Amino acid sequence: MLLCAAQASLVHAETDAALLNLDFKTVMMRFYSKQIRQVNIPELHKNKQQYTGSLPDNQGRSQVLLFDVAQKFKNLKGEERYIVTVTHTVIDEDRKEIAYCGACYQLTDVFLFKKSLDGKFQLTTRSPENQGWYAPAYERQMYYPVQIVKNMRKLGTAQQGILQEITESSHGESHSQLYVMPITDDQPLKQSNALNLGNDNEDSGEDETYHKTAQYKLLNSGSDKSEHDGLYDIEIQYSGTELKEHGGKQKAVPVNAVHRYQYNAKKQQYLLKK
């Protein structure tokens, strides 16, 4: 489904303006009116994906905005909230197709709304502009509103959100990271700094290979329960091997360590406990 700039007045409203509904056209006109343009991507039509063309990204690549239908959920206070996502996706405009590539990534804008007594939808918070939630290649399904709601959990006594494991591979090396995304009315929907969940170079062809794995847990119960600045501590146990400098060369050595990370609200990230 295309939304052409000529189909509506491209008036940029203030961010606190209430919306009559959370459909495709309303969200696009409200938040992206200065960016949209008409493009035609047949595979998106075939999949019945609601989308519109957008201005090029910061690398000059053509892109589209993919809209996903709002999903309702209740926060920890029992109040109804609605999540909407819009994903920036690179396209090959000449070939009229998604520009699939192993090194590509997507950024998803996440919006949180509440419904007022008059039936209108008020934006409570969103991911910062140009700081959408990151996903490698074309794994945006991680951030479908229905998937976000399904994966939502308590991240602190009065905080909820999602934890997302992301693994990327390039040139025979693999890296896994844990991202933390609190979802609350009173702060931007940021994707917190990634915590290392292991890496390896087993497919790199290097003479010296390593493979470090990790298991993590939220310290949210029992005698281990610990919380800082509203979010539970995270404990990560590492095992396997890692590379260390030895006699001027890199050598794989055993690793067996447990690290605890604590959230720092001032820096808005998890930091290793000293």
Mean pLDDT, the chain, whole residue set: 88
Tell me what pLDDT residue 9 has: 30
Summarised one tens digit per residue, pLDDT across range 48-100 is 999 999 998 888 889 999 999 999 999 999 999 999 999 999 999 999 999 87
Of residues 206, 141, 202, the one with CA closest to residue 169 = 202
Percent of the chain with pLDDT over 70: 91
248: left (phi over 0), alpha (psi -120 to 50) or beta: left
For residues 183 and 166, give the distance between their C-alpha atoms in angstroms, rounded to a whole number.
19
> Who has greater pLDDT, 218 or 172?
218
- In this predicted structure, the answer to whether residue 137 has a pLDDT above a threshold of 80 is no
Of residues 23, 26, 66, 24, the one with CA closest to residue 43 = 66
- In this predicted structure, the answer to whether residue 216 has a pLDDT above a threshold of 60 is yes
- Domains of the chain, residue spans: 1-139, 152-274
- In this predicted structure, the answer to whether residue 219 has a pLDDT above a threshold of 90 is yes
For residues 194 and 196, give the distance between their C-alpha atoms in angstroms, rounded to a whole number.
6
- In this predicted structure, the answer to whether residue 3 has a pLDDT above a threshold of 60 is no
pLDDT band at 5 (very low <50, low <70, confident <90, very high): very low
For residues 180 and 38, give the distance between their C-alpha atoms in angstroms, rounded to a whole number.
35
Summarised one tens digit per residue, pLDDT across range 233-242 is 999 999 999 9
Percent of the chain with pLDDT over 90: 65
pTM of the model: 0.87
Tell me what pLDDT residue 16 has: 59
Mean pLDDT of 124-151: 88
Summarised one tens digit per residue, pLDDT across range 241-257 is 998 887 778 888 999 99
- In this predicted structure, the answer to whether residue 4 has a pLDDT above a threshold of 60 is no
Those residues with Cβ within 8 angstroms of residue 149's Cβ, 6 or more apart along the chain or in another chain: 71, 72, 73, 83
pLDDT band at 7 (very low <50, low <70, confident <90, very high): very low
Summarised one tens digit per residue, pLDDT across range 184-212 is 998 899 987 789 999 998 888 788 888 99
Q: Which two tokens stand for residue 142?
A: 């991680």
| Helix, strand, coil content of the chain in percent (nearest 5) | 10, 50, 40
Tell me what pLDDT residue 15 has: 47
Q: Are 29 and 88 in contact (CB under 8 A)?
A: no
Of 12-26, 93-107, 148-162, 204-218, the one with minimum mean pLDDT is 12-26
For residues 58 and 60, give the distance between their C-alpha atoms in angstroms, rounded to a whole number.
5
Tell me what pLDDT residue 102 has: 63
